[in-house]
Amino acid sequence: MYHARPPRWVIPACVPIFITDLREQDTTILTLIFFAMMLLIYGFSYQLKVDQTIEYHVCFFHLRVIGSTLHPEDIHKIIFKDAGWGTPAATIKKKRGFPFRVMNFNSVEVLAELEWFAEHYHIKVEERSYYRTVFDKKMSKEKQGA
């Protein structure tokens, strides 16, 4: 099972609000909103498992909040693309319902497993420009770090 966390770039944007409230020694609604945002951002994580089906879960502090299982016949196509800043990603488009993105996971092996899944179950695959380059670069970095 692969794990991912949402990006943490939102928190530095809120720090000036928090510092201003500390200087005034006053707790305002902005401070409470800041702490609520930190709680939400640090609390959420995602899990994905690929075998005969694709299982994904949204967790809040390791408690499963939402989860679903996708069978091969429920998937319309998988789009592999570069999500920016050298991050490979995939979008799984379902026949009914909203698509979801597979990105920021602890290993790019999850994308390799999605490629295998699509090939094995004859699911339509679309590969956008630069994806293969970014994927290979990220994979070689992981192998060097391990």
User: Any idea where the domains of the chain sit in the sequence?
Assistant: 2-145
The identity of residue 72, as a single letter, is: P
**pLDDT digit string (tens) for 75-108?**
999 999 998 888 899 999 999 999 989 988 888 9
Percent of the chain with pLDDT over 70: 84
pTM as predicted: 0.78
Phi, psi of 3 (to 5 degrees): -120, 150
Query: What value does the mean pLDDT take over residues 121-130?
Result: 93
E strands present in 12-123: 44-50, 54-60, 63-70, 75-82, 88-94, 100-102
Nearest-angstrom CA–CA distance, 67 and 57: 4
pLDDT, average across residues 53-69:
92
Q: Cα separations (Å) of 76 from 40, 46, 97, 121, 125?
A: 32, 22, 11, 12, 9
User: What pLDDT, on the 0 to 100 scale, is given for residue 34?
Assistant: 75
CA dist 130 to 4, 123, 134, 137, 138, Å? Answer: 23, 21, 6, 11, 12
Of 113, 124, 112, 122, which is closest to residue 76 (Cα–Cα)?
Answer: 124
Q: What is the pLDDT of residue 48?
A: 94
pLDDT over threshold 90, residue 123: yes
Indicate if the pLDDT at residue 133 is higher than 80.
yes
pLDDT of residue 26: 61
In this predicted structure, what is the pLDDT of residue 122?
95
pLDDT digits (tens, 9 = 90+) for 16-33: 655 655 566 566 676 777
pLDDT exceeds 60 at position 57: yes
pLDDT score for 12? 63
Query: Do the Cβ atoms of 56 and 100 come closer than 8 Å?
Result: yes
For the domain 2-145, what is the CATH code?
A: 2.30.29.30
